[in-house]
Structure 1
Amino acid sequence: MTILRISAAFCAAILAIIGSALAAGDDVFVVPRVTVQAQADNATAAKLIAQRSGRRHALQLLLRRLTVEEDWPYLPRFASETSEVSPTGPEDFSMLAERTVLTLDHSMLEALESGFEVYNEKSSARTYRAYITYRFKPAAIRKLLRDAQIPYSEAQTRMALVLPVLETQNGLYLWEENNPWMAAWKVRPYNNELTPMTAPLGDLEDASTISPRQALALNEEALAAMAERYSVSQVIVAHAFLKQVDGQHQLRVRLVNGFRESADFSADAELSQINTAPGQFGFDDVQQGPTTNAFAPAQVGDVLAQALFNREAGNFPALAEEAIEVVIAKHAKPWKERTLIDHTEAALLEASAFFNSLGDWTKIRSALISTPLVGSVQVRSLSRTGAEMLIRAYGDPDKLIVAMEAQGLALWTEDGVSWMIATPSTAQRVRGKQRNRRNRFGEYQNGALPVQPAAYEGQPDPRY
């Protein structure tokens, strides 16, 4: 690979895209529009109580967003909560006794916050009510979870459009003004989740594009039109069936994969071939290293998550918010498990990037740097068509494969030692052809530069 002088404009473009990728990655540390309310002797005291209560709730939502349910009992607690929490049985008690649960006070909690924004603020002589968006410091939250010895994920999938269809004994609702299920998805946005979703505008164009019956029937043409309008690769139908029995609200919720663009399937097929094609360099031929089939993309009609709720009738907005939180957590669980960061393990991967344009290279570079599974990326050499890198990755490289796949990139290994990364179309062209490529030192190696990993062990991790 010929080494070329890199122009200032080239470097500036790279830095600009990297910067925007890092900023976008901080979105998971934002908890939007948390409902806060309190009553006290005066409005000032009520406001302070409400904001502190909201901050505690927002931190709980954030920590649960980043971790798997099995670790929730060990999440850091607020000081006043420690005496309130009790194990549910002898087995739980023994598990809690073996692990130390960190305790936070008001000052520690405020130190985790980078700022907040208040909406629809209302107060009286003794009460306060508002919506507050809390922003937390990514580095501080990462350190908190590391200190608590809890693995976490902060890698996001691509944004999906959600169509909230409510079914009752009186009919189907989607675009109607009296659809409380749609309203619940709009009250607090869910685009900061690890599996981000956004609700539609609900304007005349939406209503003329798809009806609630078409949504439930997974009408391919109508769903594709909605995906195109909102520039998303996936549309999820959130079907809620509500009925009232003996003063109880019975709510059944299902998230159904309604649409996924064909380009995703093409890319997934190529990625699957890269890592599992029999007789080439699939699982049987690789000395060590993972495949990508552990996280198969959902097919149209697949139920992504479902849950059933029975609550006292009278407060459907609260029930709807609870239901959304539960099904999103269920939907995100497989993704979390495959992208959890375990800082007790780290590997140095010698990797070659292949690209045909500056756009492809900046996509590869920014995807790696913005992925929390990567501690650092060192570019050893760069040309117009490729780059040699040393990647510090946390945990099992299988998780890095999944994270790159979610960003539309192929990461694979042909011998379990040297790694390659490219867009799916470029990967399809170059895979299996790099075994005898000559590197810049004139030595034949499997697509990687000779490096001394020990020389990089002492380097600081720029992310932390």
Structure 2
Amino acid sequence: MTLPRCYVKILDPMSFATSALRGIITVLGIAFVAVYAGFAAAQTGSVYAVGSVAVDETAESAATARDIALKKGQVLAYQRLLDRIVPANDRSKLSPLPEAQLLQLVSGIEVTKEKTSSVRYLAKLVVRFNPSAVRSYLRNAGIQFAETESKPLIVLPVFRSQATQQLWDASNLWLRVWRELPLSDGLINLIVPEGATADIAEISAEQAVEGNDERIKSISQRYGAAVALLTIATVKQSHGEKIVEVSTSRLDPGGADQTSVQSFVSNKEISLQEVLAGAAANLRREIEENWKLDNLIRFDDRRELLAEASLRGLPELISLQKKLEEVSLIKKAELVRLSLSAALIRLRYLGSPEQLKLALAQHDMALTQGSVYWKLQASNQ
């Protein structure tokens, strides 16, 4: 295989006088861009793998039931993949795929928890799709899609009713319905804390509503979340009906807070818990849809920029390379210049600089505008 060429300018040549160091830099220069020979090699693994696909089929024999189950499992996985990466408005434009065409999109199936009888077959499947094949199919169909996975968000559901506000209380219906939502395998992982002793000690309802940065940051970090989602459900009485007003704020350190307000009605036919459950499901769906719309891959918008990254040794350069590999918007990265303390990298990418910033942030990298070059650094620096 022919590797792409990489022209690397070494600053401070006296610092790289030994043949061993020269060899290391040469290898690094080639290795840094080798993984970008094809866009399909970028971040795709978890996005194009659909797990926990349950199948249960009965037929005249277990073998026949298995064949039917595997076919139906692939169809279910394909629908879940579309739900994950394609905006809702575009999914309706896609016609059902013929079996032969669907098989061309599947790269492999992993079977777990397999059980059989003489006529029945049960299993859990992990269906892996070929990223390049799926991209080509969707692009040819004129369908936009997103691949950027968000870092986890922690949900803080505060319930206000009869002049009280609750967060970890057992009577908090808003927290309860969030916990009971079925698992979602979208591009955003929403974490709802259990309300354990550590959670209770870390933040109260009052501190959450006040937006106590220190407490919110502390519980977010403990759960491995980058952003907190504060959602407040307030119950009010109006003409014999209960009105539920839901105010949701995305508390993003270093970014502008985003707040939305929605209202829902509970009456004799619909219980308060049912209204809250529907509101939580609707809100999660809205969050996932907005994320997809913000991160649609724009194949017709190709750009490039030069970014300078500060380095403190070889391990940081290798770590930087691995992180850039995971960003699906980056089509190619070239090492332009390298010194003991910094690397200048040309990034060829799809979409706007704001989209690139957002995608890099999901991998703990911050991209900022500098006086000459863009600056690329770990977001915790």
Whether TM exceeds 0.5 here: the answer is yes
- What is the aligned-residue identity percentage? 22
In structure 2, distance between residues paired with 1:159 and 1:139: 26
- Which residue of the partner structure matches residue 29 of structure 1? 48
- Which residue of the partner structure matches residue 410 of structure 1? 367
Match of 1:136 among 102, 110, 129: 129
- Where does 1:423-442 land on structure 2 (aligned, <5 Å)? 423=377
Residue 319 of structure 1, CA deviation: 8.8
- Which residue of the partner structure matches residue 460 of structure 1? none
The change in CA–CA distance for 1:298 and 1:117 in structure 2 (over 3 A counts) is: farther
The change in CA–CA distance for 1:38 and 1:203 in structure 2 (over 3 A counts) is: same
Match of 1:7 among 24, 28, 35: 24
The change in CA–CA distance for 1:424 and 1:379 in structure 2 (over 3 A counts) is: closer
Deviates more, 1:133-142 or 1:171-180: 171-180
Residue 129 of structure 1, CA deviation: 8.1
Give CA deviations for 1:31-84 in whole Å, capped at 9, x if unaligned: 4546x576766795777767655644443343233233442332x332xxxxxx
Unaligned runs of 5+ in 2: 1-10, 17-21
Matched residue of 1:151: which SS?
coil
In structure 1, distance between residues paired with 2:353 and 2:212: 38
Residues 374 and 391 of structure 1 are in contact (CA less than 8 Å); yes or no, is this contact kept in structure 2?
yes
Matched residue of 1:404: which SS?
helix
- Which residue of the partner structure matches residue 152 of structure 1? 145
In structure 1, distance between residues paired with 2:214 and 2:380: 30
- Which residue of the partner structure matches residue 105 of structure 1? 98
Larger relative contact order, structure 1 or 2 (CA cutoff 8 Å, min sep 6)? 2
Question: What letter is aligned with 2:140?
Answer: D
In structure 1, distance between residues paired with 2:56 and 2:275: 17
The change in CA–CA distance for 1:410 and 1:141 in structure 2 (over 3 A counts) is: same
- Where does 1:57-456 land on structure 2 (aligned, <5 Å)? 57-74=76-93, 76-78=94-96, 104-113=97-106, 114-116=108-110, 134-165=127-158, 172=166, 174=168, 176=170, 180-185=176-181, 187-188=182-183, 190=184, 193-212=186-205, 214-216=207-209, 218-239=211-232, 254-257=247-250, 259-260=251-252, 264-265=253-254, 297-299=255-257, 302-303=258-259, 308=264, 320=277, 326-347=282-303, 349=304, 351-358=306-313, 360-406=316-362, 407-412=364-369, 419-423=373-377
Aligned length: 347
The change in CA–CA distance for 1:385 and 1:133 in structure 2 (over 3 A counts) is: same
The change in CA–CA distance for 1:378 and 1:111 in structure 2 (over 3 A counts) is: same
The change in CA–CA distance for 1:184 and 1:48 in structure 2 (over 3 A counts) is: farther
In structure 1, distance between residues paired with 2:121 and 2:231: 33
Question: What letter is aligned with 1:420?
Answer: W
With normalisation by structure 2, the TM-score equals 0.66
Residues 43 and 123 of structure 1 are in contact (CA less than 8 Å); yes or no, is this contact kept in structure 2?
no
Matched residue of 1:144: which SS?
helix
**Root mean square deviation, CA, Å:** 5.1
Residues 47 and 147 of structure 2 are in contact (CA less than 8 Å); yes or no, is this contact kept in structure 1?
yes
The change in CA–CA distance for 1:43 and 1:225 in structure 2 (over 3 A counts) is: farther
Deviates more, 1:59-68 or 1:162-171: 162-171
